[in-house]
Amino acid sequence: MNIKNFSILSLLCLFSISLAAQQKISGTVTAANNTPIANVDIYDKVSGKITTTNTDGYYEFITEKENITLVFFSFEYEVVEKAIVVNKEVVLNVRLNALGEQLSEVELNIRKTKVFALKRLKDVEETAIYAGKKTEVVLVEQSMANLASNNARQIYSQVVGLNIYQNDDAGLQLNIGGRGLDPNRTANFNTRQNGYDISADVLGYPESYYSPAAEGLQEIQIIRGAASLQYGTQFGGLVNFVMKKPNEAKPIELITRNTIGSNNLYTNFTSVSGTVDKWSYYSFFNYKKGDGFRPNSEFESKNAYAHIGYQFNENTKLEAEVTYLRYLAKQAGGLTDAMFAENPFQSNRERNWFQVDWLLYNLKFSHRFSENTNFTFNAFGLKASRNALGFRTNRVNQIDPGTERDLIKGDFNNFGFEARLLNKYEVFGKKSTFLVGTKFYKADNTSAQGPGSEGSDPNFEFQLDDFPNYQNQSAYEYPNLNMAVFGENIFYLNDKLSITPGFRFEHIKTESDGFFKRINTDAAGNVILNETVDNSEVRERSFVLFGLGASYKPSDALEIYGNASQNYRSVTFTDISIINPAFAISPDIDDEKGMTIDFGLRGNYNNIVSYDVGAFGLFYNNRIGFIQRAFPDGSVKTERGNIGDAVMYGFEGLLDFNLNEIFIKNNDYSFNYFINAAVTDSEYTKTQENGVEGNKVEFVPNVNLKTGVRFGYKNFLSSIQYSYISQQFTDASNAVESNLGGVIGEIPAYDILDISMSYTYKNFKLEAGINNVLDNNYFTRRATGYPGPGIIPSVNRNFYTTLQVKF
C-alpha cells in the first residue's frame, strides 16, 4: 500500500453518489415522575448501540434509515422498544417505568445478554473509530472467572487465539500474546487503562508490570493488528482496560469482596462510588497475599485506584484518576526438563525476589463542540520502578552458593498527552466520519545492573563496596521521545457498506547512554582485566504506516469485515543492554516491520447464536527471536537477534449458542455453550541462519481451543470450561530438547478443566470454583530471565471462595 493508492481510493469514495438522506432523531428519556434518566443506552436493533442519554436525559443521533426500531435500556427500568418511520427529523420522548421487582441473577444476566452484552465495539465510540476492525470485548462480570486472582485463562476465554503464560496464581502480571507474538508481560500489545498508556515505556520498554484488578473492571477491549493506526505500531494491537464507572443512581455505594483459596490465598477488594450533583467518583483498594503453589513463591500486593469526574454541562466533562500498585514477590526460579519431570513444584532458589512500584495518573478533558464534533484530551504519566534480585546462572540445576546476588534496577519516568478530534460530516449527501489525533510521549528511564547482597532478604541496594569485581555491572539512561499524528475516515458508500482508510506518522528517537564493565579473573580469583566500556547509541527514525478497513452489513445477522495494517516494533533497551547469563545479544539487532491482515464474518442470529469467524495473516520482517549459535571460543550459546522473515496465518472462530432460547425458553434459566478455536500455522520464509528457513515460528500452537457450558437457574450460575493448547516451540531452530538453562525447547501440549459457580441472595453473593480440576502438571513458559531462567511450572489444582456484600 502507498499514498497514491490511498488517494485514488479516497477520491472514489468522495465522489460516490448516495441515494440515502440523513435525518436526526432526538428526545428526552424520563421516569414516571418526569425526572430525567441519565446513562440510558439506546440501541438500533439491527446495528447495536447508538448513543447514551446525558445527565439531562437528552439524546440525539443521525441516521440514514427510513425505518428503525430503537431499544431503550437501563438496569433499573423496564425495556422499551419503539418502531418509527424516519422521513424527517424526529423528536421522540420516552418514559421508562421502574422495575416492579428485583431481578434474579439469571434474569439480570439474560437482560445483559439479550440487549446489552454486545461483544464488539460499534463503528464510532466517543473519539475512536473501530469500523472494519476485528474487535472483541470481554464483559468481565459475565466471565464467571476467578476475578480475585485475575485468572486470564477464564477472563479471556472468548477471545480467539490468545496464548497465555499461566505461572502466577495471584494475577500479579498479565502475559498474553497470540498469532506468534511472545506473551511475556503483554509486550506486543499497546496496553491502556481507560484509553491511556500504562506500560513501562511504550517504545523503549513496552512491558506491563501492572495489570488492573479484574474486580474493578467493567470490560476489556481488544483490537487486533489494525489498531496500529490509532494506538501505536504494535503487531498485537490494543488491550484497553475499562474501569467500572461511578454509580449514577446513588450518592454512595459500597462493595466489599473477600476471597480465600488454596496456598493461603487471601484477597480483599473494597470499592466505593457514587454521584452527587455534578460530581462523580469511583475508588477501590485491593489487597492480595499468599504462599504460592511452589516453595519460595510467597507474595503481597497492594493496589489503589481513584477516579473523580466533574460534569460542567451536557457537553463538557473533566475527569482525573490515579492508580498505585506495590507488590513484593519471592520467585522460586526455573527448572530444567529433568527437574520438571522429577517434581514440577520443586525450587532450588531461596533468595530470589521481585518488586514493583507503579504510580499512574491521568487527566481527561472531553468536550462536544456540536452534535457532530467531539474532542478529547488525555494528559498522562507514570513514575515507577521494578527491581529483580537473585542468583541466576545458565545452569538452572546449580545450587545457589549463597554468594552475592545479581540485582537489576529499572526506574521509569514518563509523561505524554494525546488529543483527538472526531467529526461527522457529509460529502455529496453521503455521511462520513473523520478522526485526527496527535500524541507526544517523553520518557526518561534508567537501568542499572550490579552486585546485590549475599543475604536472603529483599534488599534492593547495590553492594559495590563489598563486591567491586562483580562481572555483570552496567548503568544506562534511556531518554526516549515519540511524536505521532494519526487519522482515519469512515466513508459510508451506502447504509450497508463502508470503507475506512487511515494513516499514522511516527517519529521515534530512542537513546541509550551508559557503560558496562569488562572484568576477568584468573583461576585464583585475581583480577586480570578491569575496564569500563562507554556505550552510547542514538536511533532516530520517521515513517508512515497505512491501513485500510472495510465493512459490509447485508442483513441484521451478518457483517462481513476486513482490514490490513502495517506494523512496526522498535528495538527495546532490554534487547540491547541487559546482561543475561542465559543468552547473548546480537550486536546487529534491529527493528521489526510487517503487516497484519484480517477477514471475517460476525453477527448475532435471533439471539440464538453469536459468532465471529475469520482468517488472518501476520507478515513479519526481521523477526527477533532466539537461535543456537557457535562462538569463536568454541562455546555454543543461545543468541537473541533478528532471525529473518516469517509468516503466521490461520483461522479463528467463536460460536456462542443460547441453548435456553433453543430448548428451554424459560427466563428462570440461562444456558449457553461456546466454542473458541484457532487453527494456526507458521513458517520462516527467509533467513540467513542455517537450518531455520522452513521452520515453524515460536509461540505458535497449531490448535488453541477453549470451550465451555454456562448454566443458571434464578440466582444460581455455573460454568465449566475446558482449554487445550497443542505443542509449540520457543526458538527458531525448533529445538525439542532443552539446554542447561531450560530456556529453549518445546512446550508440550496441555489441557485444563475449570469449574466455577455463584449464588446471589439480596445484597450477598457467594462465588466458588476449582481451577485445573484434573490436577494436570504442565507449563506454558520457558523464561529467559526473571522469574527464571528455565521452565516456570503452572498452577496445580486449586480452590477459591469469594463472599461479596453490597451496601
Read off the pLDDT of residues 116-142 as tens digits, 9 standing for 90 and up. Answer: 334 688 888 889 999 989 999 998 988
pLDDT band of residue 631 (cuts 50, 70, 90) is low
Residues in the chain: 807
pLDDT for residue 14 is more than 50: no
Read off the pLDDT of residues 133-166 as tens digits, 9 standing for 90 and up. Answer: 999 999 898 888 999 999 999 999 989 999 999 9
Query: What pLDDT sits at residue 20?
Result: 42
As a whole number, the mean pLDDT across the chain is 89
Read off the pLDDT of residues 503-546 as tens digits, 9 standing for 90 and up. Answer: 999 999 988 899 988 888 777 778 888 888 888 888 899 999 99
Task: Provide the whole-model pTM.
Answer: 0.89
Percent of the chain with pLDDT over 90: 63
Task: Name the residue type at position 187.
Answer: A
Q: Of the ranges 270-284, 344-358, 364-378, 599-613, which one carries the lowest mean pLDDT score? A: 599-613
Query: What pLDDT sits at residue 6?
Result: 40
Task: Tell me the mean pLDDT in the region 619-635.
Answer: 80
Torsion 55-57-62-63 (CA) sign: positive
Read off the pLDDT of residues 736-771 as tens digits, 9 standing for 90 and up. Answer: 988 777 888 999 999 999 999 999 998 999 999 999
Strands of 556-668 (E only): list them: 558-569, 584-585, 592-605, 609-630, 636-658
Top-confidence residue, 484 or 111 = 484
Read off the pLDDT of residues 34-58 as tens digits, 9 standing for 90 and up. Answer: 888 888 888 887 666 688 888 788 9
| Core vs surface per residue 107-124: b (16+ CB within 10 A) or e | bbbbbbbbbbbbbbbbbb
Top-confidence residue, 371 or 581 = 371
Query: What pLDDT sits at residue 425?
Result: 92
Q: Of the ranges 83-97, 182-196, 323-337, 619-633, which one carries the lowest mean pLDDT score? A: 619-633
3-state secondary structure 41-87: EEEECCCEEEEECCCCCEEEEEECCCEEEEEEECCCECCEEEEEECC
pLDDT for residue 386 is more than 80: yes
Strands of 452-526 (E only): list them: 474-492, 497-521
pLDDT band of residue 21 (cuts 50, 70, 90) is low
Query: What pLDDT sits at residue 116?
Result: 39
Task: Tell me the mean pLDDT in the region 698-717.
Answer: 94
Read off the pLDDT of residues 776-798 as tens digits, 9 standing for 90 and up. Answer: 999 999 998 888 899 999 999 99
Task: Tell me the mean pLDDT in the region 352-379.
Answer: 96
Query: What pLDDT sits at residue 593?
Result: 94
Query: What pLDDT sits at residue 530?
Result: 84
Find out whether 174 and 211 touch, Cβ atoms under 8 Å: yes
pLDDT band of residue 343 (cuts 50, 70, 90) is very high
